[in-house]
């Protein structure tokens, strides 16, 4: 372990032998640490990989039903690949679901495991700014649909300062009055000031 002074939420990766801002975990599948600058790409990787496996499972199901009754050598390879794809869909749904869940809670995987004891006493972490603001911190947008697009937007946080983002009502919706429209607060975007 390194003895350097690290910013809040930074950890030293013993595999990469370097300090990573807002380290989530070291991923052997991408051979890199998942941290502040590439967390969104890892989440999108899980999402699109799971979506692709689900798509292949659904598309291949009619063919699987026709082959399952036959005893052919060609069908056995398809059966093996199809069952493997279905299992990968389930594994990626669970694994991706956990990672999206901790994103919406404002945590990393290291914080999730490190705070298990504290969680019984306290439901929220100090870095939980609300699910929409947590999405903004990782993806640079408060829209879930825009977040699912592969893009390289500038991140609102620098990975060192983790003070709460400031809400700016006027910057997004100046025409809506919260007293008239009670749902206007749901459409508030955050701006780092």
70-96 per-residue burial string, b: 16 or more CB within 10 A, e: under 16: eeeeebeeebeebeebbebbeebeeeb
| 3-class secondary-structure state, position 121 | coil
The separation between the first and the last C-alpha atoms of the chain, rounded to the nearest angstrom, is: 35
In angstroms, the CA 82 to CA 63 distance is: 10
Q: Hey, how many other C-beta atoms are within 10 angstroms of the C-beta on 18?
A: 11
CB 146 within 8 A of CB 159: no
Q: Which of 2, 13, 27, 53 is an active site residue? A: 27
Paired tokens of 178: 């919260």
CB 74 within 8 A of CB 85: no
DSSP states along 176-192: --TTT-GGGGGGPPEE-
Work out the angle between the directed axes of helices 39-68 and 73-105 (0-180°, nearest 10): 150
- Whether 27 is catalytic is yes
The set of catalytic residues is 27
């Amino acid at each position: 372990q390194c003895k350097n002074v690290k910013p809040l939420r930074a950890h030293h990766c013993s595999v990469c032998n370097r300090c990573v801002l807002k380290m989530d975990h070291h991923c052997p599948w991408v051979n890199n640490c998942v941290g502040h600058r590439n967390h969104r790409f890892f989440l999108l990787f899980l999402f699109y990989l799971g979506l692709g496996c689900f798509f292949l499972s659904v598309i291949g199901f009619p063919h699987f039903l026709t082959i399952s009754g036959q005893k052919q050598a060609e069908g056995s390879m398809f059966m093996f690949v199809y069952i493997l794809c279905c299992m990968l869909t389930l594994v990626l749904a669970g694994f991706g679901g956990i990672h999206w869940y901790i994103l919406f809670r404002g945590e990393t995987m290291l914080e999730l495991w490190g705070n298990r004891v504290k969680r019984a006493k306290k439901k929220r972490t100090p870095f939980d700014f609300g699910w929409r603001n947590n999405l903004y911190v990782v993806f640079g947008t408060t829209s879930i649909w825009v977040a699912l697009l592969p893009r390289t937007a500038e991140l609102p946080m620098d990975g060192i300062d983790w003070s709460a983002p400031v809400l700016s009502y006027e910057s997004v919706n100046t025409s809506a009055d919260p007293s008239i429209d009670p749902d206007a607060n749901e459409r508030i975007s955050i701006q780092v000031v």
